[in-house]
Structure 1
């Protein structure tokens, strides 16, 4: 073999070796690239999952937070709301609902409440509609229809026909000032001049020992109303 032929052969061998090394390096880069991509993909998946864990943990903590539960059950949170089993009988919508009654003065508000139709008849018979509607910040103990039904019909008819007696009875159900449930226990002077006594606490109150509050703390535009199950009779003068 001539010198030039040997040189060409060596050059060919060197070129083949270089090509092999180049292909090996490229293969390593491809594998590395795939691995890095997979690692990055896994990292990306981890990054997406990672925020979910704290969010779930926060939700679980919120659900188990006793402070939140205490706030929901805190009676002070419902301090301005009506209370009592009979409140369920108040219409949920319209002028006779709690929100509707809050827009009207007390006699008008009562006229829209189906529980108080007999009381409204008595108030009209006594000529007290304007007196009650124009009063400022009063408390009304409002007997239900069933409360009036406890009175013998002949007696009730006689009272309705006697304006002076009827006025005395109705004004005995009204006291000055809007009395909140927390201030309800105790003695209260009425517009009739006599006093009535309220006993109890929480959501259980009795007026004069025999008239239970069925639905209390009902707001009207000028009064706080306590719906009671027995007509209150003023003490004999």
Structure 2
């Protein structure tokens, strides 16, 4: 009883506003923070708007297709997603990752080839689904990752720090952008499925 009274007196001295947290919960607090989203990384993150719906913080408020539509770096991808009728599917999916080709990535494809893909609904859906993984993939999984895509194929990631490559060809230029339902990794090259 003396020990308990001594502890109560010590708490009273600490002040009436002192926060009482059970010792078991204080040890768990850092672990809870460890699972929080990573900060966006990569050289192209600086080209995103600093405020508004197209900014990193603005994208977090919307589902992925809507968030992408507000990002000026993704207008070609958004047009392709709308043409393929996949916007609602992406917006309603949960815990996915989109390896999102930037406008510059699409410009690397010869116009005739890109037009052919855009006008073939089955090929376009296959291509777009190849850029989507059915789980959240963040920077800690990128150094040596293999992920199954919604198209059925696999993509691989490698690298370290802030320098990551997808399928040994595309670079992640701005990674770990969070949306309401997805993680977005902006890539500088359109990923081509092998199957």
Query: Normalising TM by the smaller chain, what interval?
Result: 0.7 to 0.9
Q: Which residue of 2 aligns with 1:115?
A: 73
Q: Work out which of the residue numbers 157, 164, 168 in structure 2 matches 1:198.
A: 157
Contact 2:38/2:139 (CA < 8 Å) preserved in 1? no
What is the CA distance between 1:180 and its match in structure 2?
Answer: 1.6
Cα deviation 1:139-165 (Å, max 9, x = unaligned): 100000010000011111111010000
Is 2:101 the partner of 1:136? Answer: no
Does the residue aligned with 2:89 lie in a helix, a strand or coil?
helix
Q: Work out which of the residue numbers 129, 149, 164 in structure 1 matches 2:122.
A: 164
The count of corresponding residues between Structure 1 and Structure 2 is: 160
What is the CA distance between 1:99 and its match in structure 2?
Answer: 1.1
CA distance in 2, matches of 1:100, 1:217: 14
CA distance in 1, matches of 2:149, 2:83: 20
Structure 1 runs, 4 residues or longer, greater than 3 Å off: none
Counterpart mapping for 1:88-103 below 5 A: 88-103=46-61
Is 2:186 the partner of 1:227? Answer: yes
What is the CA distance between 1:79 and its match in structure 2?
Answer: 6.5
Which structure is higher in helix share? 1
What is the CA distance between 1:186 and its match in structure 2?
Answer: 1.4
Counterpart mapping for 1:23-102 below 5 A: 80-102=38-60
Structure 2 residues without counterparts, runs of 5 or longer: 1-33
Counterpart mapping for 1:8-19 below 5 A: none
CA distance in 1, matches of 2:92, 2:161: 30
RCO higher in structure (CA 8 A, sep ≥6): 2
Q: Which residue of 1 aligns with 2:172?
A: 213
RMSD: 1.3
